[in-house]
Structure 1
Amino acid sequence: MEMTMTLREYYEDAKSKGKKEYNRLKARGKSGHLSSLDGLLKDVDIVGTVSLGNYEIPLHKIVGTYYHARRMLFSKSFFPLESDTSEFGLKWIEVCRAHLEEGIRDSIKVYEYLNFYYVMEGNKRVSVLKYFDAASVHAEIIRLIPKFDPEDEDIVNYYAFLEFFNTTKLVSIWLSKPRRYKRLLSYLEDYSPVDVKPEDKYLHFQKYVYHPFRTIYLAAGGQSLPITTGDAFLLYAKLYKIPDYLDEPQAKQIMPSLLKELTNYGEEEEELDIVTNSDDMEKSTILDALTAFIAPKKISVGFVYARNTQSSGWTYSHDLGKKYVEETFKDQITTGIIDNVPEDDTAYDVIKAFAEEGDYDVVFTTSEVFRKATLKCAIELPKIKFFSCSGNRPYVHMSNYFGRTYEPRFLAGIIAGAMTESNLIGYTATDPNSEVISSINAFALGAKLVNPKAEVLVAWTGEWNNPKKSTNISEKLIEMGADMISNKNLIVPREVTWDYGVYAMLCDINPETKLPKNYLAAPIWKWGKFYEKIITSILNGTYQRMISSSNNAQRIINFWWGLNAGVVDLYAAEELIPRDTVKLLGLMKEMIISEQYHPFTGPVYDNKGQLQIEKGVVPTPEEIMNMEWFADNVKIIIQ
């Protein structure tokens, strides 16, 4: 390396930076000297010491020295503080000369404690390398393992890191939450780069994928976010999987959009804007109205279907919504659809091609299985507004829309509880995500409201749409004594499905044939109302105002509407239901709409006897959307 200053000038510059840092910290009442590990460990119970051998470690992870006496020679960031004529100063200058002329080759020796490094031998080498902004150094590592403490979040996370290290032998990847290590390991489990031995795949991943990603991420400003590079990489891996070699041009292209998403991915994620009142979507200013009058907008809207209208009641219900807005908006919108989109990783390519070729302003993807594919498209096509039909967490580039399905499920539960004779009600469900759990609990609480003896037997299909499996599971529930079944895929009369797009039914069971006797009720969707409100807000500018915050960052929006918005409802065969039950249904529906009653009003206990909702308390939307427990009259039969 060509010297641009003399060795002594380098030292003086480094010392000047050290003095400034030292004085700045002292003025704030903080220590200006380097940290020392022997001081940190005074009250720490170390239960293990492990020699790891030689690794290349990132310099930013070296935060101190081992010995207390050595710390006085350096500022907090390892800059020197002694005179250039001192023995220390002269040795620092000689190390600087070696670094500039031939590079520092000898490994340093460090202790590792909680994934940070403290120098035992090589302090001046570290100081020189940090001054010249080197990225890493080779080090012989001795690991100090503290006693496990379940109450200490740092130690719990460190033990998760140790499990990750035991599998991968990677020391440079740090994540902020224990569950993220398990997620990264799950991604790496199937990682099998071409022409790389299985035992070398983790080092290959670190060198050719993770480190290039880190370079691009930090160059784009990632260091300003309150997350680790490992946290950031997890979102990338979730969307794009782990490639054999990082596609660096592609990573650079999407990184600005990825950073926007990552601002809400930290240790404390930003609070979501859950829009529970559809009236907020219909408000527009006089200026909005005047603008729309002077220069009326016309937008193109695309709809993505997993199946077709003949084979899926869910798809048919969304198509009814599409036809509704076509009739409502007439010449203000044009629409297009694509159906039978694969429900696997190839959906991304299909949806992206559909969105680009159709030159759409807005795209609604109508199935939960398209959530990841939709987010990838939204990041790569930021000029298109993407909406994912999902009850899960939305993102900066993609809003979610879904209904408060627990409300009509609660009403259906009232019917089941009133009409069951065995007090056993079967309920088949896809998998235990929060939206499904809240619907099960509301159904169970509705049944319990009219029948304290009613018990809801839940079985999982594990699949989004498998009629045969769903029916087989229902038969098992019937064999267990259930005389009422809420099943997603029971065959229902087409005169009902053609009207409502019904995709789930509550049935009572013929005790002799074990087949559905009557189709009593079904939660129904009125997607036309949903799409009308969202499209109206886009046309009049309300949506853009909602997603824009005062600091020009984009807010995360989740549209979550219920009975009061008319986007969900309950189909009920009133002629088959007792009159008093019909009256009660009408009363409870009106009370929910007018917010005089909430299905989850406490006290509510779970099936382990724990009080989950206090007496008189109504859970927040966030609490309902993240529900992980089951009501006390719910019994899980088939895992």
Structure 2
Amino acid sequence: MRTLQDIYRSARRLGLREYSSYISQGRNGYLPFLDGILKNIDIISEVDLGVVEIPIRKIKGTYTYMRSTSFARNYMPLMDEESEFASKWMAVYQAQVNEGLRDPIKVYEYLNWFYVIEGNKRVSVLKYLDVYSYNAHVLRMIPKYDEQNKDIRIYYSFLKFYKNTGINGIWFSDEKGFDELWNLIRNYEPPHIMLRGKDRFKFFENAVYGVFRKVYHELGGQRLPITTGDAFLDYLKLNGVPDQFFEDDLRPSLERFILELDYYKHSSSIQIETQPILKDERGFFSRLTTIKRHDEKIKVGFALAKDIRTSSWSYAHELGRMHLEKVMQDQVETISIDNVPETPEAYHHLKSLVEQGCEVIFSTSPEMINATLKLAMEYPDLIFLNCSNMYSFKHVRTYFGRIYEPRFLAGITAGTYTKTGKIGYIATCPTAEVIGGVNAFAIGVKMVNPNADIFVEWTCDWDNEQSTYSAGLRLAAKGVDVISHHNTLANRKFSKEYGVYSIHYNSGEDSYSPENYLSVPVWNWGIFYEKMVRSILEGGIRSSVEGTGKGIIRNYWWGMDSGILDFFYSRKLIPAETQKLINFMKESIIEGRFNVFSGPLYDHEHRLRIPAGKAATREEIFGMDWLVDFINGEIPEFKTKDKLSDLSTGKMT
């Protein structure tokens, strides 16, 4: 049986090892002390929080330098075992083991770290015994707000979160994290009615976050370059907020989730394929050929967000599915479901495709990314692709098209046809893809009609007939005679507003109607689906895990050169000379001789966004949140649905 002296020697060895490690690196091996940290910090107030429970791991140091020299940076003791300090430390240890320490320590809190005023030996013993939390009388020191200091911005966001929840054990690497978590848990209720009320968030911190943190660290999550809070928030976005977690139930899904996060550590882990490259090499998609006989058909599932009769987006994907089934009818069977909700409920609809035997599943809305990723991690042997241009994941590949290319050509037709010199654009939701389309269209207009006035009106909805008509009326009232709708070619039986069209406006009745259809960008999703499925069957897509073991996440962002996008215009209404220009510009884009977003381009504040002689990078296009300076209109505030715009370790690509 170990004696108290043995235990102290063990703790001291841990301290000496920590101290030596820091000294060998030329760093201070003693505890940090708050008095030195605050020397040049402007503290605007001190708030007495009373006695609260604090995580022991959040205790970072002591208050004064004199106290700090008794401990290494891990709070283990450094004093000789014959010292009075050692005797007192052993007495505290004995008290904790025999009956448990009860008296609260006293600490300062600064930036959600705690620095001990009274109780350093108790903290040392508690850390040695790996105790999770302890009561402390907390004095909070609040620094002056500094917009330029990220740590202080995050801290002020934490203060608001703490006021709402009393939770002090969660931290994020970005100030938005606290607001996002609050929005997820504000209505949280524990499973037991006796725990509801003011203590509900304490239960959440222990039974949800605490269990997550324990399993996350057991699985090695702490090696990732993010906070545990970052990973926790991503996991909740993906899976929803449970009443509580149980370790055995959580471990399998969290293990797969950590694998997903792990693929973002390498800057070269994400590759964007901008044109079809079909190589004869075994890889990520080839695994299906190992479980399917050559004489069996492969089932391919399509999840469509809207009604194919009224949504140009879903209609285009449905045409793509029909093309795939027609040209590969001997090898492929397709299953399609539409009106899939763009909510967490999409998971159940997608799972129905799995249950029907689909081994390749295309979810055709960016809003389905959470549900798609969740399902993909449950079925790692199946293949999932999501139609979006903003995400990169290991388990789900993404695909989209450079739709701004044909929108630029549409601008040329509008600029040529207008009689009033006033042209309108009905934009849907202010995402980067839509904003890029508006800008590309306006650039096309100005190329042929530099004096034209271009107006944009927003619906903030994807397929709302009434808001679309209202936006058109606002444009017509401004004297616009040509309108471009963000919708591409739709089922004309149900939708008359798509592409570029001239309008007839009746000011007396305050009404308008499309008159002549000039041009329309077109999605040819069938080309993408055919090429992708053929590659899957042939094993011709490069592995997601290269021979080096580093994760390679391959996404697809094809343009008009691939055939996935095209552009139709009226040869009757567009002048012959303009047709020559359109054909020339189209060929130039396809051959890579012209980039739509070539500088110089300025925004509304006349800031230079794209310099002369330069072209916008892929990242700049994906993150476009500004309008070119010659567009009349502003980008509206728009709250997106709660989806993964990116994992905390990753990047938007």
Say whether the fold is shared (TM-score over 0.5): yes
In 2, the alpha carbon distance for the partners of 1:510 and 1:622 equals 40
Contact between 1:264 and 1:270, CA under 8 Å: does it hold in 2? no
2:255 maps to 1:256? yes
Question: In the alignment, what sits opposite 1:433?
Answer: 431
In 2, the alpha carbon distance for the partners of 1:583 and 1:87 equals 94
In 2, the alpha carbon distance for the partners of 1:638 and 1:611 equals 18
Residues 53-95 of structure 1: CA distance to partner in whole angstroms, max 9, x if unpaired?
Answer: 1222112211111110111111110111111110000001111
Residues 460-501 of structure 1: CA distance to partner in whole angstroms, max 9, x if unpaired?
Answer: 222222122212221221112211112246997849x9xxx9
Question: In the alignment, what sits opposite 1:301?
Answer: 300
Give the counterpart letter for 1:534 in structure 2.
Answer: M
In 2, the alpha carbon distance for the partners of 1:232 and 1:329 equals 42
Alpha-carbon offset, residue 158 of structure 1: 1.5
Residues 163-197 of structure 1: CA distance to partner in whole angstroms, max 9, x if unpaired?
Answer: 22233222111111011222112223344557465
Is the helix fraction higher in 1 or 2? 1
Matched position secondary structure for 2:122: helix
Matched position secondary structure for 1:576: coil
Residues 500-538 of structure 1: CA distance to partner in whole angstroms, max 9, x if unpaired?
Answer: x99832111124573111111111011111112222332
Matched position secondary structure for 2:633: strand
2:185 maps to 1:185? no
Q: Pick the aligned partner of 1:99 from 85, 96, 106.
A: 96
Question: In the alignment, what sits opposite 1:509?
Answer: 503
**Coordinate RMSD, CA, aligned:** 2.8
Question: In the alignment, what sits opposite 2:105?
Answer: 108
Question: In the alignment, what sits opposite 1:334?
Answer: 333
Q: 1:319 to 1:29 in 2, by over 3 A?
A: same
Residues 100-121 of structure 1: CA distance to partner in whole angstroms, max 9, x if unpaired?
Answer: 1112222111111112111111
Give the counterpart letter for 2:539 in structure 1.
Answer: G
In 2, the alpha carbon distance for the partners of 1:527 and 1:176 equals 38
Q: Pick the aligned partner of 2:598 from 591, 601, 604.
A: 601
Question: In the alignment, what sits opposite 1:168?
Answer: 165
Question: In the alignment, what sits opposite 1:284?
Answer: 280
Q: Pick the aligned partner of 1:521 from 509, 519, 522.
A: 519
Give the counterpart letter for 1:454 in structure 2.
Answer: A
Q: 1:553 to 1:506 in 2, by over 3 A?
A: same
Question: In the alignment, what sits opposite 1:373?
Answer: 371
Residues 274-308 of structure 1: CA distance to partner in whole angstroms, max 9, x if unpaired?
Answer: 22122x2x12249999x989985863211112244
Residues 535-579 of structure 1: CA distance to partner in whole angstroms, max 9, x if unpaired?
Answer: 23322333352x223453533332111011110111211211122
Q: 1:190 to 1:557 in 2, by over 3 A?
A: farther
Contact between 1:471 and 1:490, CA under 8 Å: does it hold in 2? no
2:396 maps to 1:402? no
| Structure 1 segment 257-276 matched on structure 2, within 5 A | 257-263=256-262, 272-276=270-274
Question: In the alignment, what sits opposite 1:66?
Answer: 63
In 1, the alpha carbon distance for the partners of 2:27 and 2:538 equals 54
Structure 2 length as normaliser, TM-score? Answer: 0.90
Question: In the alignment, what sits opposite 1:322?
Answer: 321
Alpha-carbon offset, residue 583 of structure 1: 1.1
In 1, the alpha carbon distance for the partners of 2:589 and 2:497 equals 23
Question: In the alignment, what sits opposite 2:215?
Answer: 216
Contact between 1:364 and 1:388, CA under 8 Å: does it hold in 2? yes
Alpha-carbon offset, residue 455 of structure 1: 2.9
Contact between 2:312 and 2:487, CA under 8 Å: does it hold in 1? no
Matched position secondary structure for 1:35: coil
In 2, the alpha carbon distance for the partners of 1:97 and 1:252 equals 35
Alpha-carbon offset, residue 270 of structure 1: 7.2
| Structure 1 segment 184-583 matched on structure 2, within 5 A | 184-192=181-189, 195=193, 197=196, 199-246=198-245, 249-263=248-262, 272-278=270-276, 280=277, 282-285=278-281, 296=294, 299-355=298-354, 357-488=355-486, 494=492, 504-512=498-506, 514-545=512-543, 547-583=544-580
Question: How many equivalent residue pairs?
Answer: 626
Q: 1:456 to 1:379 in 2, by over 3 A?
A: farther
In 2, the alpha carbon distance for the partners of 1:503 and 1:188 equals 41
In 2, the alpha carbon distance for the partners of 1:34 and 1:637 equals 53
Q: 1:473 to 1:44 in 2, by over 3 A?
A: same
In 2, the alpha carbon distance for the partners of 1:63 and 1:214 equals 19
Matched position secondary structure for 2:385: strand
Alpha-carbon offset, residue 423 of structure 1: 2.6
In 1, the alpha carbon distance for the partners of 2:490 and 2:564 equals 22
Contact between 2:598 and 2:615, CA under 8 Å: does it hold in 1? yes
In 2, the alpha carbon distance for the partners of 1:374 and 1:493 equals 27
Q: Kindly, what percent of the aligned residue pairs are identical?
A: 41
Contact between 2:626 and 2:635, CA under 8 Å: does it hold in 1? no
Alpha-carbon offset, residue 457 of structure 1: 1.9
In structure 2, list runs of 5 or more residues that go unmatched: 637-653
Q: Pick the aligned partner of 2:36 from 39, 49, 53.
A: 39
